[in-house]
Amino acid sequence: MEIELPEEVAERVAGAERVVALTGAGVSAESGLATFRGEERLWQRFRPEELATPEAFAADPETVWQWYGWRFGRVADAEPNAGHRALVRFAALFPSFILVTQNVDGLHQRAGSERVLELHGTALRARCTRCDYTEPMAAALARSPAAPARPCSGARRSRAAAR
């Protein structure tokens, strides 16, 4: 499939050996995921410090766990959109392409992107705060939907970080 780029962009990348694309919440908005600061933003009712920091988790793990569980549900139901798929096609044009994203939804990977650097982690995996054991978020939530499980005296926390 051919990709049509604006002329200025095409000229700049024509001889490029390495290309980096940076994405944020806007690319996943088309997939139905709320942005953090947009019109129907996630931070409309809460401050990031109340839900999306290690300190918030230490102060109120149950509330933060439930919020991450809610976010995981939204992410799990979302599908990659045309923007995610266009970046997969774009990556195929360059010998060295990396996608850097602030998103935690995994939609770039589900669309087929292979070299993805997730700046804020992922909402798809839970990590123990004590031993760093990780597991799929779905499994962690199934075992403990209301509060984080503590098999080694640690607490599971989403691997997603604050934005």
CA 130 from chain centre, in angstroms, equals 23
| Helical spans, DSSP H, in 5-101 | 7-13, 25-29, 48-51, 54-59, 61-77, 82-91
What one-letter code names the amino acid at 81? N
The residue with tokens 């919020």 is 67
Edge to edge, the sheet with strand 96-101 lists 18-23, 96-101, 116-118
Tell me, yes or no, if 120 is annotated catalytic: yes
Choosing from 74, 85, 110, 120, the catalytic residue is 120
In angstroms, the CA 90 to CA 68 distance is 32
Please list, residue by residue across 20-39, b when 16 or more beta carbons sit within 10 angstroms of its beta carbon and e when fewer do.
ebebbbebbbebebbbeeee
Give SS3 for 64: helix
User: Catalytic residue positions?
Assistant: 120
